[in-house]
Amino acid sequence: MLIGIVGNYGNNNQGDEAILQGILTQLESTYPINREDILVFTNRPQQTREKFGVQVESLYLKRKTAPMTLITTILNHKKVIQKLDLLIVGGGGILMDLYLNGLVLFGMYGKIAQWVKTPYVIYGTGAGPITTRKGKKILRSLVKHAKLITVRDKASKVLLQSIGIKQAIHVIADPAFYIPKPKQTVRSEGNRNIGITAVPYYHPNYWPTENRKKYLNYVTGMATNLDKLLEGNSQVHLHFFSTKHPEDTAVTKEIVKYMKHVEKCTIYDEDLDQEAILNKINEQDVIIGTRLHSLILALVARKPVIGVSYHHKVSDFMDEINCSNNMIPIDELHQKDDYFVSIYGKMKEEWKETKNRFELIFQGIRQQQPQGMDLLEDAFPSENVK
């Protein structure tokens, strides 16, 4: 049995690497396979092979022009995908046209699988934004021919239905929830460590389009809110880490430049893998996250979270776990300076109850939402896969 996985892997985004780790863990517990029976299409094949012990293929074979890249990749990958018993497309927020080239790429994988008659599934993905006619067309084609469709939140299901997907769409827990929990770290009740993740919102080094005003509003809004948090809580220390280094780290440094209380800030200027990030999160008492998977990994470590929503996937997630009161839209962050201190103050007043609440949230996600692998095994029992 040979199972392929394609997604946003090998791009130094540790949220996506956590998703891959979660999918691999689930596959090994569901099918009679080991890592050598799994092939991952990745942007950094050697790195992915060394890190996860899987077979690898390049996500795409780059040539001088985009059309030549597409044609060369199709010709090469037809032979590879034909050998697969099953192709998993996901997870992560890959069903969007904010970066249209990415959707074209994943749509290509769906087309190849159809041509060579290899079944494929959409697994634990997020959907949106989808704003272009071309994006909707590619997405409809990719999703409607899948043998199983699973998404990570209700909003993604609604969006897919709104563009004409008639097949059953199942909402499952994000695969990253299935990575192992770190060993428990005992923290003193009097010492509050707060972890922070940032994102290059509308920065030209990361965002499709630059908007200097929005970027500065965000950076200064983070700075003033974090200063206010420190002024109201003398025992708090802030720990900045990145799930995508060095892009996020550069933004972190800009935020701290605008802060007054830099003596209470530590920046981890290093490329941490998802295991190191999880261990770093485990040393904190609370996580203030802009990156979605910093929030998800915080829940894996049973840590309370405050979300800064730079993308609807963050607000969708906070709604999904009934924590919308702990979420600030990123475009509003500069309008007030007491968002963080207010939310954290309520957490601190009932600290024991706060910790218990987030433990229950994590357990609820694992218990109430069907595990994607149960649905996958029903659709593709190992003895029936080609």
Distance in angstroms (rounded) separating the CA atoms of residues 120 and 89: 7
Distance in angstroms (rounded) separating the CA atoms of residues 252 and 242: 8
- Structural domains of the chain sorted by starting position, each given as residue range(s) with its CATH number in brackets: 3-172+370-379 (3.40.50.2000), 192-366 (3.40.50.2000)
pTM of the model: 0.89
Q: What is the pLDDT along the chain (386 residues), one digit of tens a residue?
A: 899 999 999 988 999 999 999 999 999 989 999 999 999 999 999 999 999 999 999 999 999 888 898 899 999 999 999 999 999 998 888 998 877 788 889 999 999 999 999 999 999 999 988 989 999 999 999 999 999 999 998 999 999 999 999 999 999 999 999 888 877 665 656 558 999 999 999 999 888 889 999 999 999 999 999 999 999 999 999 999 999 999 999 999 999 999 999 999 999 999 998 889 999 999 999 999 999 999 999 999 999 999 999 998 999 999 989 999 999 999 999 999 999 999 999 999 999 999 999 999 998 887 765 678 889 999 998 775 54
Distance in angstroms (rounded) separating the CA atoms of residues 66 and 205: 21
Beta-sheet strands, E only, within the chain: 3-6, 38-42, 55-58, 86-95, 120-127, 149-151, 170-171, 192-197, 236-240, 265-267, 286-289, 305-309, 327-329
Q: How far lies 182's CA from each of 12, 168, 307, in Å? A: 21, 35, 22
Distance in angstroms (rounded) separating the CA atoms of residues 122 and 150: 6
